[in-house]
Structure 1
């Protein structure tokens, strides 16, 4: 057994407590629920029945409104997966239904996994967050940046928090209000053999903000961060080392680099809506090798729940059985504590997003998700990618982890729906006081 699973006592897919997997219609869900009721369920099953019913209804309504082909959702409470649901189609043309093993693009949740690897490298003293980029890369690899005509340093800590001043995808015709999905850079189909090579895309571009002064969400900032991490790795290949970490340390066997030529079991097809008619169409082929770190991974819901629990019990210091977390609570608390000049920003695709891997602490922005500020703490990251959308949410106080993946680009409201599901499970599990009572 690998050390991450052994340390955390996480549950393998084969031993999940699955309350009901839905692959067809609301009618099928009602039949599933009825069969569970008639089978003299365990007390723990009964405990979540109301939450499952309410969450299922909410999800199916959202799926219909957003015209999503297929979705998979999972809920973990106190380290145990209590609900998995698959609904709709993984492959529309071939009528292949989604199931709990379906693998989809997870977009910027890749940043959260990269950040955990960065944290482990910091703990092992392989890298220093407060050192300059230029202590790891020479100026031929990444030219010295200037602000107000003066040379400036960019630290790894700033990069990880989107405070490095590195640009995001270029806007269409310099439209600052444009969407990243309209950028040609979002649809790159060129292969880059290493993270260092990927720097060619933006290394000669000027900064968009003085380092440390302004939050500018940037996938390319994570490409730069991965190039620095790559420089300290034995193989000098970030993609290979990331997958090695995912397999050997995290024990995630259904999380992959999004490589087009590889045969990846249970991989979904990916879709978007036509701009003209709103009809469902296939997305173009893309090569995500330039952003393995910031948006280039595939995963499924059980793996995301396992990763979420790893972060949760690292943050808490130990799991419910007293086993130590994979990362130290100190470094996860550091990861999830907002830095000066960082902020919660509005993301057009997924509602209000967390600045990468940070934790909301009594944040008023939570009222944007729910009708009340029900959670004191909430760590989350959404993911938007070509043909898919995703959400990973961790609520530490009640030990709730939510993972939601869909195979449609720009699934609006995915952050909101995931947070509402967390709220439903918290209330129905008597963890959080219902304000209506």
Structure 2
């Protein structure tokens, strides 16, 4: 982490890239826009990232971030029980209509309050922000993380079975799919089928 430091206002950082945003017709910058090539680029507005040092707000390089991800997921940076806790997929409980209940369809017909049951669903994220994908044997197939601020984006993905780590830094807000597409070039696994994407426009 030789090239990683806090992003404090006023500090001049050598070789730092200029940050940009896409501007819509309303002249307001947007993070993700459809048909991005149709919206002109503009300089990103000033943001003081020192307010979020607890959860980010740092300046780094792709090699530093990739090295950190390698030590966190593949190395011994954390003790085994801490790593398991960090990568354990979280779940949430959602109430859904119960079609097995005899009164379910009657309640729908009368437009009254439905009868619900609780269903546990997976979030796709670990307990400390890592995006995780497991196979049917509960083995970790993929771990990824993204971050960013106004005019900047970082994405890192780790494939444990192949000891593959890919990290990209982009000087504007962009969809994380590009990081998985780059990882796919170096992997024989179907990475792009593991992670769904809501917006495929960069």
Normalised-by-shorter TM-score class: 0.5 to 0.7
For 2:53 and 2:127, the matched residues in 1 are separated by 20
Match of 1:63? none
Residue 376 of structure 1: CA displacement? 5.5
RMSD between aligned alpha carbons?
Answer: 2.6
Instruction: Find out whether 1:340 has 2:91 as its counterpart.
Output: yes
For 1:274 and 1:338, the matched residues in 2 are separated by 37
Residue 295 of structure 1: CA displacement? 3.3
For 1:336 and 1:268, the matched residues in 2 are separated by 32
Instruction: Find out whether 1:268 has 2:20 as its counterpart.
Output: no
Match of 1:6? none
Residue 282 of structure 1: CA displacement? 0.7
Residue 403 of structure 1: CA displacement? 0.1
For 2:131 and 2:23, the matched residues in 1 are separated by 34
Choose which of 130, 134, 142 in structure 2 pairs with 1:361.
134
Q: Which has the higher helix share?
A: 1
Match of 1:253? 2
Residue 354 of structure 1: CA displacement? 9.8
Q: How many residues are treated as equivalent by the alignment?
A: 147
Choose which of 142, 146, 149 in structure 2 pairs with 1:382.
146
For 1:354 and 1:402, the matched residues in 2 are separated by 22
Query: Mapping of 1:118-129 within 5 angstroms?
Result: none
Q: Which has the higher strand share?
A: 2
Residue 327 of structure 1: CA displacement? 1.6
For structure 1, which runs of at least 5 residues remain unmatched after alignment? 1-251, 315-324, 346-352, 364-374
Deviation string 1:55-75 (CA, Å, 9 cap, x unpaired) is: xxxxxxxxxxxxxxxxxxxxx
Residue 358 of structure 1: CA displacement? 4.7
SS of residue paired to 2:169: strand
Deviation string 1:111-134 (CA, Å, 9 cap, x unpaired) is: xxxxxxxxxxxxxxxxxxxxxxxx
Residue 287 of structure 1: CA displacement? 1.0
Choose which of 61, 65, 70 in structure 2 pairs with 1:300.
61
Residue 326 of structure 1: CA displacement? 2.3
Residue 340 of structure 1: CA displacement? 3.5
For 1:280 and 1:309, the matched residues in 2 are separated by 34
Residue 362 of structure 1: CA displacement? 2.5
For 1:337 and 1:358, the matched residues in 2 are separated by 10
Residue 419 of structure 1: CA displacement? 1.6
Aligned partners of 1:344 and 1:354 also within 8 Å: no
Match of 1:319? none
For 1:285 and 1:382, the matched residues in 2 are separated by 21
Aligned partners of 2:90 and 2:124 also within 8 Å: no
For structure 2, which runs of at least 5 residues remain unmatched after alignment? 26-37, 93-121, 191-202
For 1:297 and 1:385, the matched residues in 2 are separated by 10
Residue 293 of structure 1: CA displacement? 2.3
Deviation string 1:274-329 (CA, Å, 9 cap, x unpaired) is: 11272111111111222112231111111111111111333xxxxxxxxxx22212
For 2:12 and 2:162, the matched residues in 1 are separated by 38
For 1:288 and 1:403, the matched residues in 2 are separated by 21
For 1:304 and 1:273, the matched residues in 2 are separated by 26
Match of 1:425? 186
For 2:87 and 2:178, the matched residues in 1 are separated by 22
Match of 1:310? 71
- The verdict on how the C-alpha distance between 1:327 and 1:355 changes in structure 2, with shifts beyond 3 A counting, is closer
Residue 355 of structure 1: CA displacement? 7.3
For 1:398 and 1:391, the matched residues in 2 are separated by 18
Aligned partners of 2:86 and 2:128 also within 8 Å: no
